[in-house]
Amino acid sequence: MEYRGIGQEVNIPLFKYYGNVDYARDAIENSRIHLELPSAYNDIYDSSQRIGAEDLYRIHFGSFLDVAIIRKYCDFLNNNEIEAIKKKDLSVGEVIDYLYSINKDIDRDKFIQESCRFFTHGKYIFQADNNKISCFSEVNDSLLMWAYYANNYAGICVRFNAPKDAILSKHCRKVQYTNHYISDYSFGNYFRKSIQWVHEQEWRIVCDMEEEYIPINSIDALYTGIRMDETVERQVLALGRKYNLEVYKMRVSDIRYEILFDRVL
């Protein structure tokens, strides 16, 4: 397993919102956090890169020649010739150049355009599918995040003592927010988002792995939403007692648009 990007010194606690308390229970009881592919998140630009003609030279062709929309550009080759190309260590761009060099009747510009569309599903931006992410926030009192990540205030927020966690402290990296879309081939695209998401104050871990979890041993507090079912609240309190965690219950302010927490354990 390899972590992507250069981590930053984490000297603050980090938080993760859960809409389903069972997911938080799994993190506590099994000392682990779940990872997702970028395409699973709600930002269509998450971890994306532009794909243009020059980028095709960075993409290994893999099974590229087996795709129907692409095969029409090499229908003049027999199966043995196609297999010979597959054995070469070529990028997609190099495959296009090679096919064009032996058949000038190919519409090279159209070939490139269709290739870009293939790798981006017609969007001309590409979301990586070989690295996984787990996201955290600097804040536990975001009205927006409680609404859309914590089941409309019926969920839970978990606090991680990040500075004392071997993995979080070493590999977590703060997300940068910008108005400009920038492709980055040094994994920076995983840590850059639109400024419209700045309220999340996000940190994240990115790694290349097939497994769904990485070990985390630093949960030290739980925050329950104001709309949490009383039966679930009792379950959270039981988790707090069993694992020696602080537990806080949400309340609303009658002066400002903000949420507050009272410690109950």
C-alpha span between 75 and 96 (Å, rounded): 13
Domain count, the chain: 2
Residues 144 and 189 in one domain: yes
**262 close to 249: Cβ distance less than 8 angstroms:** yes
Residues 35 and 85 in one domain: no
Residues 171 and 93 in one domain: no
Q: Which ranges of the chain have pLDDT less than 50?
A: none
Residues 137 and 232 in one domain: yes
- Rounded to the nearest integer, the mean pLDDT of the chain is 89
Residue 265 confidence (pLDDT): 97
Domain boundary among 97, 119, 141: 119
Which DSSP symbol is given to 121?
Answer: T
The CA distances from residue 85 to 34, 81, 103, 157, in Å, are: 39, 6, 15, 52
On whether residue 124 sits in a domain, the answer given is no
Spatial CA neighbour of 28 closest among 171, 226, 238: 238
Cα Rg of the chain, angstroms:
24
Residues 42 and 144 in one domain: yes
On whether residue 77 sits in a domain, the answer given is yes
Strand 219-224 and strand 246-252: the pairing is: parallel
Residues 180 and 247 in one domain: yes
On whether residue 199 sits in a domain, the answer given is yes
Residues 258 and 136 in one domain: yes
Residue 122 confidence (pLDDT): 65
On whether residue 63 sits in a domain, the answer given is yes
Q: 180 is written with which tokens?
A: 């400009």
- Domain housing 110: 52-119
**227 close to 152: Cβ distance less than 8 angstroms:** yes
Residues 139 and 219 in one domain: yes
On whether residue 62 sits in a domain, the answer given is yes
C-alpha span between 255 and 232 (Å, rounded): 29
Residues 43 and 56 in one domain: no
Residues 157 and 231 in one domain: yes
Residues 159 and 202 in one domain: yes
Residues 160 and 40 in one domain: yes
Q: 204 is written with which tokens?
A: 């994240």
Cβ density class 27-49: b for 16+ within 10 Å, e for less = bbeeebbebeebeebeeebbbbb
Which residue carries 């029409």 as its tokens?
Answer: 72
> 133 exposed, middle or buried (CB, 10 Å; 0-12, 13-18, 19+)?
buried
The CA distances from residue 9 to 156, 164, 171, 198, 201, in Å, are: 26, 11, 9, 20, 16
Domain boundary among 119, 151, 172: 119
On whether residue 89 sits in a domain, the answer given is yes
On whether residue 151 sits in a domain, the answer given is yes
Q: 150 is written with which tokens?
A: 């914590």
Residue 183 confidence (pLDDT): 66
On whether residue 206 sits in a domain, the answer given is yes
Residue 145 confidence (pLDDT): 98
